[in-house]
Structure 1
Amino acid sequence: MKVLHVNAGLENGGGLSHIVNLLKEAKIEGKDFELLTLAEGPVAKAAREAGIDTYVLGAGSRYDLASLKRLAAFINDRHYDIVHTHGARANLFLSLIHKKIRATWCITVHSDPYLDFEGRGILGKIFTKLNLHALRKADCVFAVTRRFAQLMINKVNVPASKVHVIYNGIFFHDDSEIPAKYEHMYFNIINVARTEKVKGQELLLKALKKIDDSHIRLYIAGDGSQLDTLKELAQELDIAPQVTFNGFMTQKQLTNLYRRMNLAVLTSYSESFPLVLLEASDNQIPILSTDIGDIKMMIPDEEHGFIAKIGDVDSIAAQLKKAINESPEKLEQMAAREKKYVASHFSVKNQLDSIEKVYQDL
């Protein structure tokens, strides 16, 4: 079975990790999986570094519909059985040529399609409608949470027979491979997420202000349209000395930063199945999240992590206090317990096996 994964190529966050990890595992297992990006960028670069067979279509811009003919020819000439798209732009391109290709078409829904273009004006509304239209046309839709699956069926109107829940996974490391932790004098919190409204970092800053504890330090690792706004908010709240905005960080840089973290926090309004929390857990850091996606599959109870209400500063502050007031020994035990749990349930191998079963059925 010959499979082509397609992405716009400009993704820098969880979407990039999802695609590259999946194709890396497929390569390890000797599967005939390849990657095509519409443009040169971080995804193609990361895939090449992972030894994945990677091609670039060379679309001139986000609106280069002239490349559609080349895309259809690429798919048909190379005789792919499955074409699997990730992201709204790749979905759009396939929706415009799906009747001209012989391959079966699958889409992975990584995030809420109604929120992907929030705050981007009329263009955002147009792209939302085009993406929803593409989701209805595909032969198969992989939803990375049960909530997204229900959204696809009940709101987007994708037939239930086409929708499959496949949880994200990562490559977990033996504890002996994880770099030793640095000793430090503060309680360090890390938030790894794009600085966009949907990620809710303003809630985290307000919760930090509410706690009013100068012993806490927050590191926000991510770039995006809200970065300057968040910096201004930190100044307004008079907590700027406690907050470091690291901007986008490579995996190597993040791994080094994890060595002095006490807690990993995600305060999003909406998420799929956040890889950044799996990665934090792999690095032996306890995790706290708002009640997004199927997070209770990842944090099944209070022994495995902390869950706050979505959009609720008081709830986030309360869960942060709970973590801060725990002894270092108990937090260490929680992190070890959580890693053992997620490693057994959410490896990238499990993810690939589940996807392949659907491919075979198709």
Structure 2
Amino acid sequence: MKILHVISGGETGGSRKHVITLLEQFDPSEVTLAVFQEGALSEEARAAGIGTVLFAQKSRYDLSVLSRLSAFIKKERFDIMHTHGPRANLFGIYIKKKTGICWVTTVHSDPALDFVKGGLKGTIFTKISLYAVRQMDHYFAVSERFKQNLVSLGIRPEKVTTVYNGIHFTEEPAKAAAIPVPEQAFVIAMVARLHPIKGHEIVFEALRRLDVKPHLLLIGDGPIEDELREKVKDIRDCVHFLGFRKDVASLYAASDVALLASYSESFPLALLEAANERIPLISTDVGGVGELIAEGETGWIIPPGDAEALAEAIRQAMKADVKQMGEALYEHAASNFSLDQLHKATKDVYTTLASR
């Protein structure tokens, strides 16, 4: 059985980590990764021993890559194509028609929101993206809630398998990184692309409502960085843009809580990584978050877009025994969200599909 995973290659967030950790669990002869650009993802994949092939584009609109990728699939006789992200999904429409390959996907975000703030072009791409999502042979949903989201788009329930994200949990937390904050400061780590769907502006508004302000680490890059930097000038002393970092575990270890403020997610891998570092979570009620966080015991769950609810959760966190909460979260996450379960469930679906 041979599986080709297809992703744009420019990802620096959760989908990058998901693909790398998943493919690492398979025998190298079973999986190959195809990317359209070099970047952190392809570098990490090759370093992990994952066969990685570049189908370079002159621009993201260069469609000549489709015939090359289709020819590669036929030559190597792949049984299944597994796409990740909107660009790979859009290209999958052509590749499926050209090769007839069995096509599956893991939906890492709400396809209706992938092109938010994209203007007319974004509206067009959203329609095409939603069309692509409906053409696939099978779907991996990383939470029960996300499965229902796919069903609401017209996908038959039997074509969707819920497979929780997983990571390798370590016996000891990472060594804390040096961070640009006062020694006794309360530190919140937010690992997220700088993208409208991630809710950074709501976080800024919540900080403005606090009399005693924590220090916020923004870990990640993205298309609205300049816009966010402009909007945070009045509280810039407590907001730190750290950009894309490879030492996320160490940054979590240096923090008191982890924050997710997204309007939509499937199952945030970043929260599992925070759990591994024994820090509690503050998260919007998205995706499978409710299956990870026990309210008031291992973290706080708030409605998306609610700055006051977020501010109150931060107030509570600043008074709580975050070390004890973090340990409780670690025990729960390590027992239920391992890489072993992710690998087994995914391979079972591949085996069933390949035998048809």
Q: Superposition pairs for residues 75-114 of structure 1, below 5 Å?
A: 75-114=73-112
Secondary structure of 2:218's counterpart equals: strand
- 8 Å Cα contact 1:13/1:194 also seen in 2: yes
1:346 and 2:342 correspond? no
Please state whether the residue corresponding to 1:324 is helix, strand or coil: helix
Deviation at 1:234, TM superposition (A): 2.0
1:352, 1:47 → 2: CA distance? 17
Kept in 1: contact 2:147–2:160 (CA 8 A): yes
Equivalent of 1:165, from 162, 165, 170?
162
Q: Name the SS of the counterpart of 2:258 in structure 1.
A: strand
Q: Deviations over 1:124-166 (max 9, x none)?
A: 1121111111111111111222222222222x22222212222
Post-superposition offset of 1:9? 1.0
Instruction: Tell me the residue number matched to 2:114.
Output: 116
Question: 1:1-362 to 2 correspondence within 5 Å?
Answer: 1-27=1-27, 32-154=30-152, 156-175=153-172, 178-179=174-175, 184-214=183-213, 216-235=214-233, 238-250=234-246, 252=247, 254-326=248-320, 330-362=321-353
In the TM superposition, what is the alpha-carbon distance from 1:335 to its structure 2 partner? Answer: 0.6
Paired with 1:184 and 1:353, the residues of 2 have a C-alpha distance of 44
Distance, in Å, in 1 between the alignment partners of 2:251 and 2:106 is 30
Aligned mates of 2:294, 2:322 — CA distance in 1: 16
AA aligned to 2:165 is N
User: What RMSD, in angstroms, separates the aligned Cα atoms of the two structures?
Assistant: 1.8
Is the 1:39–1:60 Cα contact (8 Å) retained in structure 2?
no
Instruction: Point out where structure 1 has 5 or more consecutive residues left out of the alignment.
Output: none
Cα shift readout 1:54-90 (whole Å, capped 9, x = no counterpart): 1112232212222222111111111111110101111
Amino acid at match of 1:357: D
The whole-number CA distance in structure 2 between the counterparts of 1:191 and 1:153 is 30
Please state whether the residue corresponding to 1:310 is helix, strand or coil. Answer: coil
Deviates more, 1:311-320 or 1:94-103: 94-103
Q: Cα 1:126–1:171, aligned 2, differ >3 Å: closer, same or farther?
A: same
Deviation at 1:202, TM superposition (A): 1.1
- CA deviations on 1:221-258 (whole Å, 9 max, x unpaired) are 122232222222222xx3221111112222x2x23323
2:346 partner letter: I
User: In 2, distance between residues paired with 1:348 and 1:110?
Assistant: 17
Q: Counterpart of 1:190 in structure 2: which amino acid?
A: A
| Residue 38 of structure 1, CA deviation | 2.2
Distance in 2, Cα, partners of 1:226 & 1:75: 36
**Given the two structures, how large is their TM-score scaled by the length of structure 2?**
0.93
2:176 touches 2:251 (CA, 8 Å); kept in 1? no
Name stretches of at least 5 consecutive residues in structure 2 with no aligned partner.
none
String of CA shifts for 1:86-135, please: whole Å, max 9, x gaps: 01111111211213224311011110000010101111112111111111
Deviates more, 1:13-22 or 1:239-248: 239-248
Partner SS for 2:255? coil
Change (3 A) 1:63 1:180: closer
Q: Alignment partner of 1:19: what SS?
A: helix
- Give SS of 2:209's match: helix
Q: Residue deviations 1:198-226, cap 9 Å, x none? A: 11111111111111214x21111122232
Amino acid at match of 1:349: D
Whole-Å Cα distance in 1 between the matches of residues 294 and 205 of structure 2?
Answer: 27
- Deviation per CA, 1:231-290: give whole Å up to 9, x if none: 22222xx3221111112222x2x2332332111111111111111111111112211101
Task: Return the alpha-carbon distance in structure 1 between the equivalents of residues 36 and 115 of structure 2.
Answer: 19
TM-score (norm 1): 0.92
SS at match of 2:331: helix
Query: Separation in 1 of the partners of 2:218 and 2:31?
Result: 35
Instruction: Select between 34-43 and 1-10 the one with higher mean Cα deviation.
Output: 34-43
Deviation at 1:184, TM superposition (A): 2.7
Give the residue type in structure 2 aligned to 1:18. H
Select between 84-93 and 143-152 the one with higher mean Cα deviation.
143-152
The count of corresponding residues between Structure 1 and Structure 2 is 350
